[in-house]
Amino acid sequence: METIAIRCRELVKTYAGRPPVEAVRGIDMAVAAGECFGVLGPNGAGKTTTIEILEGLLVATSGEVEILGMQWRQSPDAIREAIGISLQETRFSDKLSVLETLTLFRSFYRRGIAVADAVQRVGLEDKLHAWVKDLSGGQRQRLAVAAAIVGDPRLLFLDEPTTGLDPQSRRQLWEIIRQYGAQGRSVLLTTHYMEEAEQLCDRVAIIDQGEIIALGSPRELITRLGGEHVVEFTLAPQTAGADRTENAWAQFAHVTSSVYEDGCHRLTVTEPHLVIPQILGHLEQRGGQLASLTTRHARLEDVFVQLTGRHLEESPPNT
């Protein structure tokens, strides 16, 4: 069995128009067999375009794609037999039951798992005979995953599998995906939830405006940020204006970066227990007062903010 599940080189997708839209601008990546790989980025970053090229649903403007050692142009049918897909938004026929929908999808594959098995893996046994229109959002998303795994794929593509779901449904889906990955199968998922990527993915690629801006395991990326902790504080209104927005904190020892945003100072630090006394001392000297202070572990979100100056769940600046 091949050791690389997905490999793509210099992937480019340009949509004709005036001006042409460069949705994907040269993406290189390799997903190892058995790996859960996350493509993380804000809406409009090019995640769906990238995954749909890999899924064979879009044709790249240029670049190479290899799926499980095969190429779309040469063996499309063999690739389709070996992969499972959940699209960003598919609305299955409202008036077919879970069982009927999955039996239909199962019939498309030469080999696969029993429909009952797929239903059990996503925990929809109680809804076997329920029509799709009577399922909740989370149940529909689980049905989509069941339809993706019913052909027993070696590689699973999930495009934003938990977008719009409540936290409980989201956790249920994570568990299903985790169990699938535990069988040594490869998973590629896109998401704009950093927490999802941290929970599920062995490695993530952070995409912004059609390019990979960071690639590595969630822990690596956070470490690369320079500090694993974040100290956030706001100052009381009576503090002098210059002091409140002062951005001199980055010069303190053990502080690797500092951002001031919406009245909040956010410092990435290596040693919070040494940094906090410095902050308090500095403020006392100047007569400033703290309104709030929190400290937490750094997250992928902080990596994205540091790299782009924007938050993940915002739109890119010029759209």
What residues make contact with another protein under the rule CB under 8 A? 55-57, 77, 80-81, 85, 87, 89-93, 95-96, 100, 103-110, 131, 147, 151
Complete DSSP assignment for the chain: --SEEEEEEEEEEEE-SSSPEEEEEEEEEEEETT-EEEEE--TTSSHHHHHHHHTTSS--SEEEEEETTB-TTT-HHHHHHHEEEE-SS----TTSBHHHHHHHHHHT-SS---HHHHHHHTT-GGGTTSBGGGS-HHHHHHHHHHHHHTT--SEEEEESTTTT--HHHHHHHHHHHHHHHHTT-EEEEEES-HHHHHHH-SEEEEEETTEEEEEE-HHHHHHHTT-SEEEEEEE-TTS-HHHHH---GGGSTTEEEEEEETTEEEEEES-HHHHHHHHHHHHHHHT--EEEEEEEE--HHHHHHHHHSS-TTSPPTT-
Nearer Cβ to another protein, position 77 or 262?
77
Nearer to another protein, 59 or 274 (CB): 59
Gap between the Cα atoms of 289 and 291, Å rounded? 7
Least separation in angstroms between CB 197 and another protein: 23
Residue among 143 and 235 whose Cβ is closer to another protein: 143
Tokens of 255: 């502080």
Minimal distance, residue 189 CB to another protein, in Å: 15
Q: Cis peptide before 19, with omega less than 30 degrees from 0?
A: yes
Minimum distance between the CB of residue 85 and another protein, rounded to whole angstroms? 4
Supply the minimum distance, in Å, between the C-beta of residue 267 and another protein. Answer: 45
Cβ-based nearer residue to another protein, 101 or 306: 101
Q: Please, what is the minimum distance in Å from the beta carbon of residue 16 to another protein?
A: 16
If the CB atoms of residues 106 and 154 are measured against another protein, the closer one turns out to be 106
Smallest separation, CB 132 to another protein (Å):
10
CB closer to another protein, 153 vs 218: 153
Closest approach, Cβ 91 to another protein, in A, equals 4
Whichever of 81 and 243 has its CB closer to another protein, that residue is 81
